[in-house]
Chains A and B, each alone.
Chain A
Amino acid sequence: MNGSNQEDTHRTVERVARESYGRLVAYLSVHTHDLASAEDALSNALVSALSHWPQDGVPQNPEAWLLTAARHSLIDAIRHQKVVLASEPTVQLLKEDFTEAALSKEFPDERLKLLFVCAHPAIDHAMHTPLMLQTVLGLDAARIAQAFLIAPKTMGQRLFRAKTKMRSGGIPFEIPQERDLPKRLDAVLEAIYAAFGIGWGDMAGGDQRGRDLAEEATWLARVLLQLMPGEAEVQGLLALMLHCEARRPARRGPDGRYIPLSEQNPNRWSVPLIEEAERHLTEAFKLGRSGRFQLEAAIQSVHAERAHWPD
């Protein structure tokens, strides 16, 4: 294997991991409720991809390949557990749709369930955002800890505790019933916005870390919108975040000094992002259900008008 080939494979693995991480973790844990094991299995699959793909070539459907490898790893892990209490039904369950999933290109997208589980009322409120960042986007505990300004070890322990509760606490892996949906969806939206807020506030002098987290939050909002296209507040949240993003280049002076909104140069705002935000806001208003995020986005929209004023 030559160097550039390996580099290419690395990049492919990274891309597939980035795009498919949440889908694979969600699918692997939806029956077992065991997120930690699903994540471990996926890590093993990714390591295995790094050693196999450079030799055998990148498979036609990398996601399905990873899923198959992760399932093997998951079944092995359950078998090797010293305490095999009632593991047989789980193994059976994993094996049952194993062949089916390996053959079919499509497997169901369970990420929405995962987002709702991460923001379940029985889970510590402060852990909603970190859990989403880890289980849906695959960020590691050290990086999450950095953003939340706590020790990586502490963050690791809190994530572990939360996952134990998800596994054994009787938390359903399902989309909430209509009656509970507005409240539960609020929790999901708040957790995503919290990630964005941390990324935003953290951006002292264009700090790359902060920017990354704001981008991750925007990605989460896009995933959510893809899964719930008819929810006005999801559109509203994405519009709000895109409006903020649009002004990022104008937010700091060359010396890193903070520039208040009224003094920002609108020529430095991103017009494509403003336009995208406006599109989402229009979509949201069409749905005719107002809410906090739509209102905040509307305020941003008024500020953004300035981009079109003559100098």
Chain B
Amino acid sequence: MQFALMIYHTPEEFDMRKNDYSDPHLGAWRAYYRALADAGVYVGADALEVPETGTTVRLRDGKRRVQDGPYADTKEQLAGFIILELPSVDAALEWAARCPGASIGAVEVRPLAKEALRRGFTG
């Protein structure tokens, strides 16, 4: 089954991106992605821009309400995600623990919804 590893960064971690990650951090991420690929569990991944670039939209009473900023006003913000094909949550927790994002911010592990549910959405 497939799991999403959602990586949450602290503001400090987002700041590090400005220096082009010119530090061991980048090396750790590269090694991590290589390990995922070598293990044959990698399905897909991407990083998100800094939270300040986010815009949140709600439709209420037929009116569009647009708000500058991310959905939730918390210290740790979604910074990216990785999708992995794994046998169980045990394996997903192992990979999450090895993820460089877990050492400063946090990594949330969540299974993707069942295939049938996803097909229901996409037709």
**Residue positions of A touching B, CB distance < 8 A:** 85-86, 120-122, 168-172, 176, 180
Closest 8 CB pairs of A and B: A86-B116, A170-B89, A172-B88, A85-B116, A170-B111, A122-B89, A171-B89, A170-B88
Which residues on A sit within 8 Å (CB–CB) of B88?
Answer: 170-172
Q: For the complex, give the distance between the alpha carbons of A168 and B116 in Å.
A: 13
Q: Is B90 an interface residue (CB 8 A)?
A: yes
A295 to B48 alpha-carbon distance, docked (Å):
52
Within 8 Å by CB of A85, from B3, B87, B89, B117, lies B117
Contacts of B90 in A (CB 8 A): 171-172, 176, 180
In the assembled complex, B44 has its CB within 8 A of some CB on chain A: no
Q: Which chain A residue has the least Cβ–Cβ distance from B113?
A: A168
Q: List 29 A-B contacts (CB under 8 A).
A: A85-B114, A85-B116, A85-B117, A86-B114, A86-B115, A86-B116, A120-B89, A121-B93, A122-B89, A122-B93, A122-B109, A168-B111, A168-B114, A169-B89, A170-B1, A170-B3, A170-B86, A170-B88, A170-B92, A170-B111, A171-B88, A171-B89, A171-B90, A172-B87, A172-B88, A172-B89, A172-B90, A176-B90, A180-B90
Q: How far is the CB of A85 from chain B (nearest CB, A)?
A: 4
Q: Does B62 reach chain A (CB closer than 8 Å)?
A: no
Select from chain A the residue with minimum beta-carbon distance to B86: A170
Does any Cβ of A come within 8 Å of B24's Cβ? no
State the CA gap A172–B90 with chains docked (Å).
8
Residue numbers of B with Cβ under 8 A of A are 1, 3, 86-90, 92-93, 109, 111, 114-117, 120
Minimal beta-carbon separation of B76 from chain A (angstroms): 20
Inter-chain CA distance A85–B90, complex, in Å, is 26
Would you call A85 and B111 a contact (CB within 8 A)?
A: no
In this complex, what residue of A is CB-closest to B114? Answer: A86
Q: Tell me how far the C-beta of A228 lies from the nearest C-beta in chain B, rounded to whole angstroms.
A: 20
Nearest CB in chain B to that of A172: its residue:
B88
Q: Give complex CA distance A168, B89 in Å.
A: 10
In the bound assembly, the distance between CA atoms of A172 and B111 in angstroms comes to: 13
Question: Which of B3, B86, B88, B117 has the most chain A CB atoms inside 10 A of its CB?
Answer: B88
Taken together as a complex, chains A and B put the C-alpha atoms of A176 and B89 apart, in Å, by 12
Interface centre among B1, B88, B90, B115 (most CB of A within 10 A): B90
Considering only CB atoms, which chain B residue lies closest to A176 in the complex? B90
Complex interface: chain A residues within 8 A of B117 (CB): 85
| Assembled-state Cα–Cα distance A121/B91 (Å) | 12
Distance in angstroms from A88 CB to nearest chain B CB is 10
Q: Which residues of chain B are within 8 angstroms of A169 by Cβ–Cβ distance?
A: 89, 111
Q: Note all chain B residues with C-beta closer than 8 A to A122.
A: 89, 93, 109
A73 to B111, CA, bound (A): 28
Instruction: Quote the shortest CB–CB distance from A73 to chain B (angstroms).
Output: 23
CB-based nearest B residue for A122: B89
Determine the distance from Cα of A169 to Cα of B3 in the docked complex, in whole angstroms: 9
User: Within the assembled complex, what's the spacing in Å between the Cα atoms of A171 and B86?
Assistant: 11
Closest chain B residue to A171, Cβ basis: B89
Closest CB in chain B relative to A92 CB, distance in Å: 14
In the complex, besides A122-B93, A170-B89, 8 extra interface pairs with C-beta distance below 8 angstroms are A85-B116, A85-B117, A85-B120, A170-B3, A171-B88, A171-B89, A172-B89, A172-B90
A37 to chain B, nearest CB (A): 16
Tell me the bound Cα distance from A172 to B89 in angstroms.
7
Q: Which of A170, A172, A176, A180 has the most CB of B within 10 A?
A: A170
Can you name the residue of chain B whose Cβ is closest to the Cβ of A168? B111
Report the minimum CB–CB distance from B122 to chain A (whole Å).
13
B66 CB to nearest A CB, Å:
33
In the assembled complex, how far is the CB of residue A117 from the closest CB belonging to chain B, in whole angstroms?
Answer: 11
Q: Complex Cα distance A36/B80, Å?
A: 34
- Across the interface, which residues of B come within 8 angstroms of A120, CB to CB? 89
Closest chain A residue to B94, Cβ basis: A180
